[in-house]
Amino acid sequence: MALKYKLILASGSPRRVDLLNQAGIEPSRLMPMDIDETPKKSEHPRSLARRLSTEKAEAALAALKGDMTWKGSYILSADTVVAVGRRILGKAEFADEASASLYLLSGRSHWVYTGVCLVTPDRKIRQKIVETKVRFKRLSGFEIENYLASGQWRGKAGAYGIQGLAGTFVQKMVGSYTNVVGLPLYETILLLTGEGFDVHSRWAEG
């Protein structure tokens, strides 16, 4: 069966690619967008996730302008924000940043917000914001030190990836697990199918 539409993922995240693959979707193209992710003054974490996912999708759309190869494609973007209250924990690049985030998360609850933005072939913009509440157990200095040594915190919002070693830190979670990984599958598939993207016929291809 010939499938009409292509999907462009405005991200280079291997985790988001893996999640789409889990749903039977292979993006036709990856387009990581380099945008300024600095929060605005007093910006709520939820609003930041919404804004950044929209800006990434719009940047990809602008980059494809005039390229007939990708005319009629869907563009999907996402941005995940980790926060304690209104305090946003950025993507850790250095060990001291990661250490500070992990000590802050230790023994308390935090929120993970993912903004998902879909640009349809007729250039409509559809959005979803998904939130998950995660509680970490109290972490010992030994655990934090060894997690830092693993390197799995690097480039991750909140300095952890739940799909790796940090999954052992999670005491309780309310909401979507895939949201914490970086792309809430249920809501993403709902967006795609609601706008005419044929997800399920792809399953027959194996």
Mean per-residue pLDDT for 166-192?
Answer: 97
- C-alpha 134/C-alpha 45 separation (Å) is 15
Q: Interior CA angle at 163 toward 157 and 172, to 5°?
A: 85
Give 123-163 pLDDT, tens digit per residue.
999 999 999 999 999 999 999 999 999 999 999 999 999 99
Residue in 18, 79, 96, 198 annotated catalytic: 79
The pTM (predicted TM-score) of the whole model is 0.93
Q: Retrieve residue 204's tokens.
A: 């027959």
Domains of the chain in sequence order: 7-195 (3.90.950.10)
Q: What residues does 75 pair with on adjacent strands? A: 8, 119
Mean of per-residue pLDDT scores for the chain: 93
Question: What pLDDT band is residue 206 in, cutting at 50, 70 and 90?
Answer: low
**Residue 170: phi, psi to the nearest 5?**
-80, 115
Per-residue confidence (pLDDT) for residue 2, from 0 to 100: 37
Mean per-residue pLDDT for 87-107?
Answer: 96
Q: In this structure, are residues 113 and 45 in contact, taking their beta carbons and an 8 Å threshold?
A: yes
Per-residue confidence (pLDDT) for residue 72, from 0 to 100: 87
HSE toward the beta carbon, residue 70, CA cutoff 13 A: 21
Give 52-68 pLDDT, tens digit per residue.
999 999 999 999 988 88
Torsion sign over Cα 146, 148, 149, 152? positive
Pairing of strands 7-9, 74-84: parallel
Question: What pLDDT band is residue 4 in, cutting at 50, 70 and 90?
Answer: low
Per-residue confidence (pLDDT) for residue 129, from 0 to 100: 97
Give 104-127 pLDDT, tens digit per residue.
999 999 999 999 999 999 999 999
122 counts as catalytic: no
